[in-house]
Each structure stands twice: as structure tokens, then as C-alpha cells.
């Protein structure tokens, strides 16, 4: 796994992942977050363990999008037996960052997952990284505003939390 995947394989992966994304989006809209999490993860799994440099831009972007969405769904289905939760959210945000290291959305999602796990230093680091980025899109700027809000919610550095 070092060379780009052949077009046929890539096209099949993209189509299958796209179908899972559509299903997951419908489940998410219906507030079935556990099922949406599973569908997003299934979509991301179509890309296997291929490294970012073996995927084309479209595949990297789709995998990152699926992983970010899975991360969000995991946080929303916290407590559902066997589904997502903070650890699932953290795992999926990390997978998104492996294929799109500069994804402001993935960094924000990972920060939220760290905060849910009460890993305050890691959460703070991710939110501060989001704030240090120079986004060009309005959506990315929205994540900066959200990160600013999340930082205010975190305990002060060195504070003892009961």
C-alpha cells in the first residue's frame, strides 16, 4: 500500500461509502444517532486501512467527512449500549485527522471528545489549535467560534475537578 489505488477499486469504494453516508445522514436527521454512527463508520470502513497517500483527494475528503460525522453522532448517542460515546467519537475524529491533518472540523470534534472524557489538557490543545488556524470558509470560522465557547467551559489549567 504505497501507490494510488486503481480507478475501478477507488470508484467502488466511493460509491459504497456514498451510499452509507446517505443512509447515515437520514438516520442522523431522524435523531437515530446510534444507527447513524454505525452507518458512518461502515462508510469509512470501505476505505480500509489505506494510508492517506494511497487515496485521491475525493476519497480522503469523503473518509474525513464520514469520520467527522461519526464522531458527532457518537457524542450524541452517549450512553447507548455499545454505540459510540466519547471514545468512539475520539477514535473517529482521529481517523479523520489521519487523512485530513488540517481539518478544523475534525480537530474541533476531537476536542469535544477529549472534553467529554475530561481530558482537559488535550481538549484545550485541540480547541487552541482550531483557533490558531486561518480558515477561508465561513463554516470553518463557525468552528472557531464554537471552539472559543468550549474553551470557556473547560476548567482552568491546574484546577482540581471533583
Residue 116 CB-density burial (10 A; 0-12 exposed, 13-18 middle, 19+ buried): middle
Q: What is the mean pLDDT of residues 126-142?
A: 77
29 or 134, which is more confident: 29
Residues 6+ apart with CB under 8 A from 15: none
Q: Which three cell numbers stand for residue 21?
A: 453516508
Residue 82 confidence (pLDDT):
47
Q: Which three cell numbers stand for residue 118?
A: 475530561
Residue 62 confidence (pLDDT):
97
6-33 pLDDT, tens digit each: 888 889 999 999 999 999 999 999 999 9
* Dist. CA 86–CA 70, nearest whole Å: 11
149-161 pLDDT, tens digit each: 888 888 876 554 4
Contact in structure between 146 and 105 (CB atoms under 8 Å): no
* Dist. CA 31–CA 134, nearest whole Å: 33
Q: What is the mean pLDDT of residues 100-112?
A: 92
8-state DSSP, 60 = H
48-101 pLDDT, tens digit each: 888 888 889 999 999 999 999 999 999 998 655 445 689 999 999 999 999 999
Tell me if the pTM is above 0.75: yes
Sorted by where each begins, the domain ranges of the chain are: 7-153
Residue 155 confidence (pLDDT):
83
In CATH, the number for domain 7-153 is 1.25.40.10
* Dist. CA 55–CA 64, nearest whole Å: 12
Residue that has been written with the C-alpha cell 470553518 in this structure: 140
Residue 1 confidence (pLDDT):
43
Residue 144 confidence (pLDDT):
81
Answer whether residue 145 shows pLDDT above 90: no
Q: Which three cell numbers stand for residue 127?
A: 480547541
Residue that has been written with the C-alpha cell 471514545 in this structure: 87
131 or 45, which is more confident: 45
Q: Which three cell numbers stand for residue 150?
A: 468550549
Amino acid at each position: 500500500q504505497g501507490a494510488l489505488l486503481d480507478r475501478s477499486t477507488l470508484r467502488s469504494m466511493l460509491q459504497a461509502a456514498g451510499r452509507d453516508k446517505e443512509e447515515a445522514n437520514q438516520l442522523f436527521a431522524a435523531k437515530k444517532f446510534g444507527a447513524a454512527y454505525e452507518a458512518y463508520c461502515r462508510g469509512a470502513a470501505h476505505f480500509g486501512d489505506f494510508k492517506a497517500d494511497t487515496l485521491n483527494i475525493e476519497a480522503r475528503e469523503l473518509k474525513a467527512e464520514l469520520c467527522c460525522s461519526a464522531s458527532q453522532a457518537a457524542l450524541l448517542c452517549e450512553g447507548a449500549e455499545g454505540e459510540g460515546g466519547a471514545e468512539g467519537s475520539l477514535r473517529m475524529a482521529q481517523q479523520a485527522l489521519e487523512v485530513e491533518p488540517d481539518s478544523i472540523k475534525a480537530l474541533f470534534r476531537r476536542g469535544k471528545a477529549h472534553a467529554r472524557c475530561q481530558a482537559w489538557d488535550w481538549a484545550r490543545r485541540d480547541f487552541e489549535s482550531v483557533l490558531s488556524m486561518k480558515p477561508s470558509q465561513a463554516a470553518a470560522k463557525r468552528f472557531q467560534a464554537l471552539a472559543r465557547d468550549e474553551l470557556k467551559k473547560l476548567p482552568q489549567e491546574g484546577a482540581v475537578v471533583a
